[in-house]
């Protein structure tokens, strides 16, 4: 028995016929939760680049298929984050930009070493953006929309019990430019280029 096989057996998995078959321990459906930090940026023509950092948490669900020491799968997730920035504008009043949620549908591919999995992931992402513009007179106007874009990153995951694994991953979200013009505002924003960098840890329950 190989060392990797001994580790897998100690966690309660059936020992594969060879070490090259260790990827099959990741096969099946799973569901989990994650928490981490988000570094969000809002790039606008009128106001320049605005950044904010905050906590992020959410859930994920997916399905894996193992081929020898390789794993391929698909995963969907949602994330809540407190991404809000604001700035004053000439003439009084101000502008606030808010984006509190995102979601993604991604493919995953990687390789396993014993009970550990190392993977890359990429796919499509969505986020909601809203703006509120306040005038010096105290009135305000608002606009909102949903932006889509791409997400990509890397991660590592390892079993701590037969049905439970923990993970650490870093993801970059790049969204398209969204026009959220508010013509009656003090400054009409012609577009918002939104991005996110997220580092998060998670726990996953696997169904065999």
Q: What is the pLDDT of residue 152?
A: 97
Cα→Cα distances 139→84, 135, 136, 185, Å: 20, 5, 7, 9
Q: Specify the pLDDT at position 110.
A: 95
Tokens representing residue 172 in the block: 């970059």
Percent of the chain past pLDDT 70, that is, above it, reads 75
pLDDT in tens, 22-77: 557 899 999 999 999 998 887 776 677 777 888 899 999 999 998 888 999 999 99
Rounded Cα–Cα distance for residues 192 and 43 (Å)? 6
Q: What is the pTM of this model?
A: 0.78
Q: Which domains does the chain have, with CATH numbers?
A: 3-207 (2.40.160.20)
Name the phi and psi angles at 69, rounded to 5: -85, 5
**pLDDT, tens digit (0-9, with 9 covering 90-100), for 155-175:** 999 999 889 999 999 999 998
pLDDT score of 201: 98
- The pair of structure tokens assigned to 199 is 């580092």
């Amino acid at each position: 028995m190989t060392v990797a096989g001994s580790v897998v057996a100690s966690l309660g998995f059936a020992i594969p016929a060879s070490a090259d078959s260790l990827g099959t321990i990741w096969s099946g459906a799973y569901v989990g939760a994650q928490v981490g930090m988000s570094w969000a940026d809002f790039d606008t023509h009128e106001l320049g680049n605005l950044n904010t950092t905050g906590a992020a948490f959410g859930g994920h669900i997916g399905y894996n298929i193992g081929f020898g020491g390789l794993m391929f799968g698909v995963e969907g997730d949602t994330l809540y984050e407190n991404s809000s920035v604001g700035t004053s504008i000439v003439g009084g009043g101000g502008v606030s930009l808010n984006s509190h949620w995102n979601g993604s549908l991604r493919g995953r591919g990687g390789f396993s070493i014993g009970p550990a999995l190392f993977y890359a992931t990429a796919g499509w992402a969505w986020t909601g953006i809203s703006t509120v513009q306040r005038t010096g007179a105290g009135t305000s106007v608002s606009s909102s929309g949903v932006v889509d874009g791409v997400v990509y990153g890397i991660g590592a995951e390892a079993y701590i019990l037969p049905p439970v694994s923990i993970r650490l991953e870093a993801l970059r979200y790049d969204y398209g430019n969204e026009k959220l013009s508010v013509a009656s505002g003090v400054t009409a924003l012609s577009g918002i280029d939104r991005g996110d960098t997220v580092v998060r840890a998670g726990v996953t329950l696997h169904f065999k």
